[in-house]
Structure formats: structure tokens, C-alpha cells
């Protein structure tokens, strides 16, 4: 097969030659234009795109044990009077990332991440009282080292001509993907130690009423299970095969104000009436050995 990355004398990209007959990219084997998919899977040309290429990535599973939870001056009195509590919800509020080159390791970068978790608790001030909903904040920091290659170019964008956002430096861009953590444990702590927590950014603190205070009488520690994927990306120009434009192949479904018409489109919830048997569950659930 001919090399798709061919340069003509004028310096531009040329259309690659026809693929080898009988190969997986043979256009002769593609459907004719009159067929149903109009040859959408037939290689047509090589195009240059500007995209974010992932140079390195890693996944991690962290057990964050006994993270201190901070409360505002309006919420801390409920914690001081608490006799028991339970977790209602935990979600990732914000993640802040910083990328720095690693000394004596060219092309490698450290990614410092600070996670802020919104913690919602049901607090019981007595055995007979109704629980009170209390919101707090927990944080966690970690660092990973990934390969991000090297680049010395300075790119300026026309969509931000008069701002600092118009310049893209040679540093790679870090991104982290995460799901809401799993609450594994939560407990009251008598006479807790002062929390050595990072400074709380304004965009995180504005979600809560009042000012955050250090606990003096009682505190809360929570244990979380966290899953993350961290990536280092660079914006590069890549030559890729093009098959066709992404033309939608279905019509949009219009909504209706008639509730009965909307109800008719909802599938019957068979599984709600007939729960699955153990043999119908996945392998991980079917072969579970509890100790």
C-alpha cells in the first residue's frame, strides 16, 4: 500500500494512491453510491487535523482513609451535638491540576492534583430526634509522573487575540477523569486534630453558607474509594484517513406537550416486575465469594 503521507513539490499534502486490490481498504469492495450507506466506509482521502494527542496516561484506584471533613460556622454546631451520623452523598466538587517538568528527566512531567469532595451527611443529635442534613468539604492531594514529550513552539490563536488565553505554551495539558467516590466509612472523632487542609478556593467555598472553621469539640472523618484516569495531551497536527463527513443518519425526535403521548413512548419496565435471578447476573456477581 502506498504511503498516505506524501508531499508534493509545492509543499502540500497529496491524495494517496489507490490501496492494494483485495486489501481491507479496497474501495472496489465498498458499496456503490446507490447502496444504503453510500460508501461511508470507503477510504477517500488523507486529511490533516489539529487534535489533542494523548502521549501518556494512567489509571488509579485510591482508598482515601480518614479524610477530615470541614464545616462552616453554621454547620459545625450540629456536629458538636451529634451522637451518630451517616453519609447521604459524596461527589467530586472540583479538581485543580498543575503540571511541572521533572528535573533530569526530559519529556516527563509531574501532575499535581487536588480534589475537593462535597460531603452530605445526616446528623442525629439524639436518638429520638429527626436527622439534620449537614454539608461539609473534604480534600485530597496526589501526584503522578507521566511522559508528555517536548515542545518549544509558541502558538497564538485568533479567537483570543487580546488576552492571555490566546497563547498556548509548550507545556502539555493535563486532564483527569473521575467518577463520584464511594463512601466506605464515616465516623465521629472526639477532640480532633487541626486539619492541615489546602487553602479552599473561592469557587469551591461559595457553595457553602458561612465561613469554614476548624473543629474543636467533635469532628468527622470519612473514608472514600476513588477511581481516576490521568492523561497528558499535546495539540498536534495529524494526518488521518477520511471516509466521509459525519452526516446524521436519523431524524430528531420532537417532544410533545401531550403527557399520554409521551407515556406511550416509555418502554414497559419488565425488570421491575421480574427481578433477575443470580444466574442472570454478570460473572463478577455470579462468582462472588463473600467472607
pLDDT band for 175, please (50, 70, 90 cuts). Answer: very high
For residue 290, pLDDT beyond 60: no
For residue 266, pLDDT beyond 50: yes
Residue 272 burial (C-beta neighbours within 10 Å; 0-12, 13-18, 19+): exposed
Which helix or strand (DSSP H or E) is residue 284 part of? helix 283-286
What is the residue-wise DSSP string for 27-86? GGGSPPTTSTTTTTTS--EEEEEEEEEEEEEEEEEEEEEEEEEBEETTTHHHHHT-SEEE
Higher pLDDT residue, 261 or 234?
234
Q: Which sequence spans correspond to the domains of the chain? A: 1-44+243-269, 52-236
pLDDT band for 54, please (50, 70, 90 cuts). Answer: very high
- Nearest Cα residue to 135 out of 82, 187, 89, 67: 89
For residue 11, pLDDT beyond 60: no
Give the chain's mean pLDDT.
Answer: 80
For residue 15, pLDDT beyond 60: no
Rounded-to-integer distance, Cα 281 and Cα 287, Å: 10
- Nearest Cα residue to 76 out of 202, 208, 224, 200: 208
**Which pLDDT score is estimated for 12?**
43
3-class SS of residue 145: strand
For residue 245, pLDDT beyond 50: yes
Please give the share of the chain, as a percent, with pLDDT higher than 70: 77
pLDDT tens digits for range 180-209 = 999 999 999 987 888 888 889 999 999 999
For residue 257, pLDDT beyond 90: no
**Which pLDDT score is estimated for 39?**
57
Contact status, residue 46 vs residue 238, Cβ threshold 8 Å: no
Higher pLDDT residue, 83 or 161?
83
Amino acid at each position: 500500500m502506498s504511503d498516505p503521507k506524501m508531499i508534493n513539490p509545492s509543499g502540500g499534502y497529496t491524495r494517496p494512491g489507490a490501496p492494494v486490490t483485495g486489501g481491507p481498504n479496497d474501495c472496489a469492495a465498498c458499496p456503490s453510491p446507490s447502496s444504503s450507506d453510500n460508501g461511508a466506509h470507503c477510504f477517500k482521502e488523507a486529511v490533516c487535523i489539529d487534535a489533542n494527542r494523548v502521549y501518556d496516561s494512567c489509571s488509579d484506584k485510591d482508598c482515601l482513609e480518614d479524610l477530615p471533613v470541614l464545616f462552616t460556622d453554621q454547620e459545625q454546631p450540629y456536629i458538636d451535638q451529634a451522637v451518630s451520623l451517616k453519609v447521604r452523598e459524596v461527589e467530586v466538587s472540583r479538581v485543580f491540576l498543575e503540571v511541572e517538568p521533572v528535573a533530569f528527566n526530559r519529556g516527563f512531567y509531574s501532575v499535581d492534583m487536588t480534589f475537593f469532595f462535597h460531603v452530605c451527611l445526616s446528623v442525629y443529635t439524639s436518638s429520638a430526634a429527626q436527622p439534620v442534613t449537614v454539608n461539609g468539604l473534604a480534600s485530597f492531594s496526589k501526584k503522578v509522573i507521566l511522559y508528555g514529550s517536548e515542545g518549544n513552539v509558541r502558538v497564538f490563536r485568533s479567537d483570543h487575540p487580546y488576552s492571555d488565553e490566546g497563547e498556548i505554551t509548550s507545556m502539555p495539558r493535563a486532564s483527569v477523569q473521575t467518577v463520584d467516590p464511594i463512601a466506605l466509612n464515616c465516623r465521629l472523632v472526639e477532640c480532633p486534630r487541626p486539619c492541615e487542609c489546602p487553602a479552599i478556593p473561592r469557587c469551591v467555598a461559595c457553595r457553602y453558607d458561612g465561613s469554614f472553621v476548624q473543629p474543636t469539640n467533635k469532628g468527622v472523618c470519612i473514608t472514600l474509594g476513588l477511581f481516576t484516569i490521568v492523561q497528558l495531551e499535546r495539540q498536534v497536527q495529524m494526518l488521518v484517513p477520511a471516509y466521509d463527513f459525519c452526516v446524521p443518519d436519523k431524524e430528531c425526535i420532537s417532544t410533545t406537550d401531550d403527557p399520554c403521548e409521551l407515556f406511550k413512548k416509555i418502554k414497559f419496565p419488565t425488570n421491575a416486575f421480574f427481578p433477575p435471578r443470580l444466574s442472570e447476573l454478570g460473572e463478577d456477581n455470579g462468582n462472588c465469594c463473600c467472607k
